[in-house]
Amino acid sequence: MPRAVPESPYWARLKQLPSFRKLTSQEAVAKAVTRITGTRYGQTGVQKWKSGASEPPLSVSRALAEHDGYSAEWLISGQGEPIAAATMWPFSRISASRYFSLSEGQRIALEGRLLGDIVDLENAAKKR
């Protein structure tokens, strides 16, 4: 009888993402990864992720996490909160960690630009 291979910590976190929770086979996981990332992954690569022999490239992990609104940092390293701040994050061109590394003045300026953009969008919608 084949011995069960212990699952890697990465695999355990991957299986917590909503897109992967109900997938039971490595083939199904490979298909989901291909669908989400646009990059073809086979069962062999996925089997290596499961066993901990390798992990996917950073760009793939980021795409998988962000697809479900989860933190790439959490998926890759297990650090931080699972749910990404980006799920409620209003700035599409700056990450939460980058935002909080800005000075208070820079954050105020960025927030002002965001509010200005919102007002512009609302005014444009009213004109239609």
- CATH of residue 68: 1.10.260
Question: How many domains does the chain contain in total?
Answer: 2
Q: Indicate if 98 and 64 belong to the same structural domain.
A: no
Residues 69 and 74: their CA atoms lie apart, in Å, by 11
pTM of the complete model: 0.61
Q: What is the mean pLDDT of the chain?
A: 83
Q: Indicate if 25 and 70 belong to the same structural domain.
A: yes
**Whole domain around residue 66: which residue ranges?**
1-88
Range 39-66 burial, b when 16+ CB lie within 10 A, else e: eebeeebbbebbeeeebbeeebbbbbbb
Per-residue pLDDT, 86: 47
More confident residue, 99 or 125: 125
Q: Indicate if 7 and 17 belong to the same structural domain.
A: yes
SS3 11: helix
50-82: pLDDT as tens digits: 999 999 999 899 999 888 888 888 999 998 878
